[in-house]
């Protein structure tokens, strides 16, 4: 189907949708949060202000203006995915959706307090083709507006539309522009902003999980269930990888979302020590309605990624055993690892977490320079990228898309780790700051650059083809 044909079909869909609602303000208000979350006509109260008196790091670095969400509204009809699918139809729909998103291969993994909007946007600029939010607690998300407004942000779409000033023709044209600017054209890899996006929840109650998922489904491409967190807090809360002891509960979580959401359900898992158990687990998730499976190739007990290598053989076996898209997670330090993993496992994409924290430009092909025998750093015919420049880019994104200071502090430590090892006195100054400011952080980075000494990131000649100034990445083969 040609692009013009799709535009006409999309326009007719908008026309049909508005024809039934044109004369009532109430119907316009239902679409308003999608088209203009800033409008005073958007339903629902504003988020309560956050008081950071107990811990300044818990406060937002600026007012939520460009990235907070209005009350959720359903996506327009052409975006809906049919419910109650099963068997081969579900598999076909899973692939159709994945391909419409451009079949992204390079994905930012979910990281608590670390895969927030500014960091996702930085990674997208440097080659990432999709990203997960940090893990969100489904119960707290449904109960606490403050938690929702601070922990889940994404780019607004089509802000500034004033409904009262539009006639029907102008309104239809604006909606058409909204579709073209913010959603994929079928068969295309054209994306914009913070999409494709997985929103990840931890949960152990299907009804609570569905309530949380309903809030975010207009703003994402998958609702993801965290079935892989191995930390003690997950054990105490009975979620993440500790649900592996209760497969019927996991099945009910997936079925609840699959049968009631308009976006696909994905799951992120860890493997069992026994491969056969892992394959039974993966098949059960597929049959329950999972449309995409991300497999971390370590067991629940293998928490230390530097100590335990991920098992690519297990990921390959899962990929061979199920029919839906599979993402591989583990042992991704640079782009050669990406190619090796895809070739070995046959996975449809890879996730990276810890390596991206230290090098957000990993997916653009940059990697840390290795010292020569004499301790110097040499490179031929390559491209240099200073990690301090990445830190500055991240800080500017935080000014545009505010997040809690604790997230900014964490990223600065990770991105500038090599610098801090050489100049520990600057790290101590950062740790001593009970209340951060962008002015202080920018000055700190400048002082580090003046002190010098840290190795830069480098890449080969095809770097610039993957790093995009507007944050939209090309897909590697």
Number of residues assigned to the chain: 477
- Burial class from Cβ neighbours inside 10 Å (0-12, 13-18, 19+) for residue 370 reads exposed
Q: Under DSSP, is residue 398 helix (H, G, I), strand (E, B) or coil? A: helix
* DSSP classification of residue 461: T
Tokens of 24: 């009532």
Q: Note if 229 is an active site residue.
A: yes
Distance CA(469)–CA(477), nearest Å, equals: 21
Element containing residue 439 per DSSP (H, E): helix 438-451
Annotated catalytic residue within 229, 267, 290, 341: 229
Compute the distance between CA of residue 10 and CA of residue 178 in angstroms, rounded to an integer: 11
State CA 62 to chain mean position distance. 21
Residue spans of alpha helices (H) in 36-137 = 87-100, 117-125
Neighbours of 24 (CB within 10 A): 10
Question: Which pairing describes strands 326-329 and 349-352: parallel, antiparallel, or unpaired?
Answer: parallel
Beta strands in 51-182 (DSSP E): 106-108, 130-132, 136-137
How many CB atoms within 10 Å of residue 379?
Answer: 14
Question: Parallel, antiparallel, or unpaired: how do β-strands 326-329 and 367-368 relate?
Answer: unpaired
| Tokens representing residue 75 in the block | 């996506």
Indicate the DSSP class of residue 375: S
Using CA atoms, how far residue 29 sits from 6, 22, 23, 24, 174, in Å, is: 27, 11, 12, 9, 16
Give dist(CA 148, CA 137) in Å, integer.
10
Of 133, 403, 359, 458, the C-alpha closest to 268 is 133
**Angle, vertex CA 294, rays to CA 291 and CA 295, nearest 5:** 135
CB of 56 within 8 A of CB of 87? no
Beta bridge partners of 136: 201
Determine the Cα–Cα distance for residues 351 and 328; give it in Å rounded to an integer.
Answer: 6
Separation CA 279–CA 281 (nearest Å): 5
Which of 476, 473, 477, 418 lies closest to 451, judged by CA?
418
Rounded distance between C-alpha atoms, residue 79 and residue 377, angstroms: 51
Catalytic machinery residues: 229
């Amino acid at each position: 189907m040609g692009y013009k044909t799709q535009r006409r079909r999309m326009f007719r869909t908008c026309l049909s949708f508005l024809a039934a609602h044109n004369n009532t303000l109430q119907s316009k208000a239902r679409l308003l949060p999608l088209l203009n979350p800033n409008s005073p006509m958007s339903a629902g109260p504003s988020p309560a202000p956050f008081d950071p008196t107990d811990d300044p790091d818990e406060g937002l670095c600026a007012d939520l203006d460009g990235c907070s969400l209005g009350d959720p509204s359903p996506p327009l009809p052409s975006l809906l995915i049919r419910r109650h699918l099963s068997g081969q139809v579900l598999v076909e729909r899973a692939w159709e959706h994945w391909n419409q998103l451009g079949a992204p291969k390079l994905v930012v993994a979910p990281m608590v307090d670390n895969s927030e909007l500014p960091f996702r946007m930085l990674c997208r600029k440097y080659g990432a083709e999709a990203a997960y939010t940090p893990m969100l607690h489904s119960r707290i998300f449904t109960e606490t507006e403050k938690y929702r407004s601070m922990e889940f942000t994404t780019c607004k779409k089509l802000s500034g539309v004033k409904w009262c000033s539009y006639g029907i023709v102008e309104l239809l044209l604006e909606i058409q522009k909204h579709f073209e600017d913010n959603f994929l054209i079928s068969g295309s890899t054209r994306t914009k902003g913070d999409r494709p996006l997985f929103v990840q929840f931890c949960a152990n109650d299907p009804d609570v999980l569905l309530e949380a998922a309903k809030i975010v489904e207009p703003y994402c491409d998958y609702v993801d269930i965290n079935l892989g967190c191995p930390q003690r807090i997950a054990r105490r809360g009975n979620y993440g990888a500790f649900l592996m002891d209760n497969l019927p509960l996991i099945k009910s979580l997936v079925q609840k979302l699959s049968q009631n959401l308009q976006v696909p359900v994905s799951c992120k898992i860890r493997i069992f020590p026994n491969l056969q158990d892992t394959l039974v687990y993966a098949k059960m998730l597929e049959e329950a309605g999972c449309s995409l499976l991300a497999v971390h190739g370590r067991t629940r007990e293998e928490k230390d990624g530097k100590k335990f290598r991920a098992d690519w053989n297990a990921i390959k076996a899962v990929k061979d055993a199920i029919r839906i898209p599979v993402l591989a997670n583990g042992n991704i330090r640079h782009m050669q690892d990406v190619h090796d993993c895809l070739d070995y496992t046959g996975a449809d994409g890879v996730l990276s977490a810890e390596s991206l924290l230290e090098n957000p430009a990993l997916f653009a092909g940059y990697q840390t320079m290795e010292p020569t025998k004499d301790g110097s750093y040499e490179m031929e015919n390559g491209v240099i990228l200073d990690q301090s420049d990445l830190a500055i880019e991240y800080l500017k994104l935080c000014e545009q898309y505010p997040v809690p200071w604790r997230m900014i502090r964490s990223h600065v430590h990770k991105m500038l780790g090599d610098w801090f090892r050489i100049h520990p006195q600057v790290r101590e100054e950062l740790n001593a700051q009970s209340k951060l400011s962008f002015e202080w952080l920018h000055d700190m980075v400048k002082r580090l650059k003046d002190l010098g000494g840290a190795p830069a990131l480098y890449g080969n000649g095809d770097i610039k083809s993957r790093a995009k100034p507007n944050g939209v990445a090309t897909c590697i083969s």
